[in-house]
Structure 1
Amino acid sequence: MNTLLSIEKRNAVLLQMAELLEKERNVIIDINKTDLDAYTGNDISMYDRLKVDDAKVDEMINAVTHLASQDDPVGVERFRFKHDNGMQVYNKTASFGTILIIYESRPDVTVEAAGIAFKSGNKILLKGGKESLKSNLKIVELWHQALKHNGASTDWVEYLQFNRAETQTFLEKPTQKVDLIVPRGGEHLIAFVQQHASCPVIVSGRGNNFVYVHEEADLDMALKIIVNAKTAKISACNALDKVLIDENLPNKSEFIRTLISKLKVFNVEIMGGKKVSEYEGVDLIPSKDIWYEEFLDYKIVIGEIASNEAAIAKINKYSGGHSASIITTNEAEAKLFMENVDTAAVYHNASTRFTDGGQLGLGGELAISTDKLHQRGPIGLQHLVTNKWYVHGNGQIR
């Protein structure tokens, strides 16, 4: 059993990790090139997430440096109570114990997600995808150097080099204690983990996000937000997939034509419902089921909708429970939308691309949860804890 490391030691390991990432920057990028060259798939978002360049290494260094500066999330008092019999009762945050992170393609998860889990006092088990194996193993080697340098056991960060069958066996009958599993990746990975896991799973990562252009929208703002949310980073789970345009929007036809032309600059494939598909450059949707789909690609669906209430109902039926935005100058309509749309993050006059731990003030994030338990939306350092009751007495019996 690994005894909880002091906060000083956890921070020292994180800062040492930042130094090693800087020192080994070029080695990491070169090793990552071998992973990229070996990738034979045609999934552009997977390739994008797999790639490590100077900017990505900078992000990793910033992540661990920032984590080292944050307060210890373990042992924080949440509640206190003095019992009539004199017992002093406290509820404090506590680490989970061991967290398994299963992820695809993203070597930065090996630094950032592992760093968050480590800072919150947990042992980390990492199971990355075969496409990023060499990059991941190099980064885990650095974790082990940082741990050894600070006199801590290398057991705190362990890489599981399992194939799919071995992973399934481990999920069903773990050979060591696992308290929580966090899958980071596409729907197939998440479904696989949920199906086989024998301990709690935090479900994250599915987007299928909506923007609703209300009849009182600022149209220039709406165009900027839609283009940004769709095209800035197509591999992100906070990217936009669906646009609902109020059928009572003034200058609606002109707005739709302008939106089409702006999206076509980025070669976005545009599909539409019956009315929108009549515009040039828009294909008719193959079936209503496409409203459920997350694209992670240069694709978008645009439809007309009768009202704010109808938009809320449609989003609640089809979205992935991640992010939704209303564009309107009407505060009351925005409030109605934000209170009733059932997603982890709701926006008024802003891009869905901000659903991200760093952007929402958490520093980094382990995952973006679409579950309602145990935490919803970006899971930061302060959320990756459970709690424990501490009861001090002097012989009380009941």
Structure 2
Amino acid sequence: MKLINEKLKNQVLESMMTIIDKNRDELLNANKKDLDAFKKDDQALYDRLVVDNSKINGMIKAISEVKNQEDPVNKEISSTELESDLKIINKTAPFGTIMIIYESRPDVTIEAAVLAFKANNKILLKGGKEAYNSNKILVTFWHEALQENGLEPDWIKMLELNREETRAFLKKPSEPIDLIVPRGGERLIQFVKENATCAVLVSGRGNNFLYIAEDADWKKTLEVIINAKTDKISGCNALDKVLVDKKIPNYEAKLKELKEVLETAKVEVIVDAEVKNTLSSLELIKDEETWFEEFLAMKIVIGAVENVEEAIFKINKYSGGHSSVILTEDNHKAAYFMENIDSAAVYHNASTRFTDGGQMGVGAELAISTDKLHHRGPLGLKQLVTNKYYVYGDGHVRV
């Protein structure tokens, strides 16, 4: 794939910022069509669909942040000269063509495209039908920015395919695809895994857990839980499960206070059998599948554990491998928990809501990866490249 110099890439991004800013009304009108057509049966999906002036400002900021980051392509990773005088240099290189499949959020049409383009990748955008008009106008803006700067619009494409057409495309793409990123729920991820014929990098479900150790600061604990659960229920970094150590002082009183605080915040609380002994009025977990579930709603599970080892076991068994938290004043216990939890992000005395490219200093993100190859956590600009070895010889042959 042809490498574009950094100056030209940044000119395209500068044009895009200007185009979005000048055409706010056109974008808002397109988004209104999507909102008017959407049945509000899924509040989390609806929240993700909304575009307002604040969201537009966020789009422009995301582009600006990526523009100001160093070009990640063609950077030297390592250099070695062997005794044979063979010189080997390892450099970063673009993936090639990335396809992202996502639901609802029009801002992904900005963040995914700006990151892929700055990292010198082409991108195929397959958004959900609920955001069709919003995505369509944003891709039109991208094409205008590319053409203003003498580049072909095929660097950023919108795929207008239904489910069956998408299945066929995944099985037999009409053009080479190097990486697919499904960004959505469990069904979408499974659909892509079953049908894709190239590498898939999973932006997994949340289902995030928080463990309250016996020595946790209770004030901090309540503040962190409320923020992690209620700040943005549509976020994959929202909290779904709380595990309380049974040895915590005033165990029953604290369970009752936690229930009251959550219910005051309008969070539905369900409990395991042990906690129901204390909070008898609450609904009991129906079956084991609930422990695996990502709610994306004002709903939370409270369960009890004997110790940190049981908490680690449960989290590693049931969570989505996204974000996990321990509340404790013991740094050694925190370190033990964080080292043994198999999640992309592990927290000590902090909300899961920080698992986000902007909050973690990465800037705009393509997704939050829960895969281990080639990267876990926010997929920012530096993570959208692979590598290539450059080997320099002078008639060298292997003997």
Residues 95 and 179, structure 2, Cα contact 8 Å, conserved in 1: yes
Farther off after superposition, 343-352 or 273-282 = 273-282
Alignment of 1:49-68 (within 5 A): 49-68=48-67
* Residue number in structure 2 paired with 1:204: 203
Alignment of 1:115-194 (within 5 A): 115-194=114-193
In the superposition, relative to structure 1, how do residues 173 and 346 fare at CA in structure 2: closer, same or farther (>3 Å)? Answer: same
Identity rate of aligned residues, in percent? 53
* Residue number in structure 1 paired with 2:8: 9
TM-score under structure 2 length normalisation: 0.98
Alpha-carbon distance in 2 for matches of 1:362, 1:292? 29
Unpaired segments ≥5 residues, structure 2: none
> Structure 1 residue 214 and structure 2 residue 229: aligned?
no
Residues 260 and 281, structure 1, Cα contact 8 Å, conserved in 2: no
Deviation at 1:86, TM superposition (A): 1.4
Deviation at 1:267, TM superposition (A): 1.4
Alpha-carbon distance in 2 for matches of 1:318, 1:47? 27
* Residue number in structure 1 paired with 2:362: 362
* Residue number in structure 1 paired with 2:298: 298
* Residue number in structure 1 paired with 2:97: 98
Alpha-carbon distance in 2 for matches of 1:265, 1:17? 44
* Residue number in structure 2 paired with 1:350: 350
SS across alignment from 2:273: coil
Deviation at 1:98, TM superposition (A): 0.4
Alpha-carbon distance in 2 for matches of 1:176, 1:336? 47
Alignment of 1:335-346 (within 5 A): 335-346=335-346
Farther off after superposition, 277-286 or 88-97 = 277-286
Q: Deviations over 1:69-122 (max 9, x none)?
A: 000111111111002221221000000000011111010000011111111000
Unpaired segments ≥5 residues, structure 1: none
Instruction: Tell me which amino acid in the other structure corresponds to 2:292.
Output: Y
Residues 35 and 131, structure 1, Cα contact 8 Å, conserved in 2: yes
Instruction: Tell me which amino acid in the other structure corresponds to 2:211.
Output: Y
Alpha-carbon distance in 1 for matches of 2:259, 2:164? 45
Residues 206 and 320, structure 1, Cα contact 8 Å, conserved in 2: yes
Q: CA RMSD in A?
A: 1.0
Alpha-carbon distance in 2 for matches of 1:275, 1:183? 37
Deviation at 1:29, TM superposition (A): 1.2
Q: Deviations over 1:217-264 (max 9, x none)?
A: 000000000010000000000000000000000022222122111111
Farther off after superposition, 283-292 or 98-107 = 283-292
Runs of 4 or more above 3 Å deviation = none
Alpha-carbon distance in 2 for matches of 1:175, 1:72? 29
SS across alignment from 1:275: helix
Residues 24 and 56, structure 2, Cα contact 8 Å, conserved in 1: yes
Farther off after superposition, 214-223 or 9-18 = 9-18
Deviation at 1:62, TM superposition (A): 0.3
Deviation at 1:27, TM superposition (A): 1.5
Farther off after superposition, 84-93 or 228-237 = 84-93
* Residue number in structure 2 paired with 1:387: 387
Instruction: Tell me which amino acid in the other structure corresponds to 1:165.
Output: E
Instruction: Tell me which amino acid in the other structure corresponds to 1:107.
Output: P
Instruction: Tell me which amino acid in the other structure corresponds to 1:109.
Output: V
Residues 100 and 124, structure 2, Cα contact 8 Å, conserved in 1: yes
Alpha-carbon distance in 1 for matches of 2:9, 2:165? 31
Deviation at 1:171, TM superposition (A): 0.2
TM-score under structure 1 length normalisation: 0.98
Q: Deviations over 1:139-186 (max 9, x none)?
A: 000000000111111110111101111100000000101000011111
Instruction: Tell me which amino acid in the other structure corresponds to 2:345.
Output: A
SS across alignment from 1:324: strand
SS across alignment from 1:80: strand
Residues 210 and 324, structure 1, Cα contact 8 Å, conserved in 2: yes
Q: Deviations over 1:293-323 (max 9, x none)?
A: 1100011000111001110011011111111
Residues 276 and 282, structure 1, Cα contact 8 Å, conserved in 2: no
Alpha-carbon distance in 2 for matches of 1:39, 1:211? 33
Q: How many residues align?
A: 397
Residues 204 and 320, structure 2, Cα contact 8 Å, conserved in 1: no
Alpha-carbon distance in 1 for matches of 2:117, 2:200? 18
Alpha-carbon distance in 2 for matches of 1:15, 1:202? 29
* Residue number in structure 2 paired with 1:254: 253
Instruction: Tell me which amino acid in the other structure corresponds to 2:32.
Output: K
Farther off after superposition, 344-353 or 84-93 = 84-93
Deviation at 1:281, TM superposition (A): 5.1
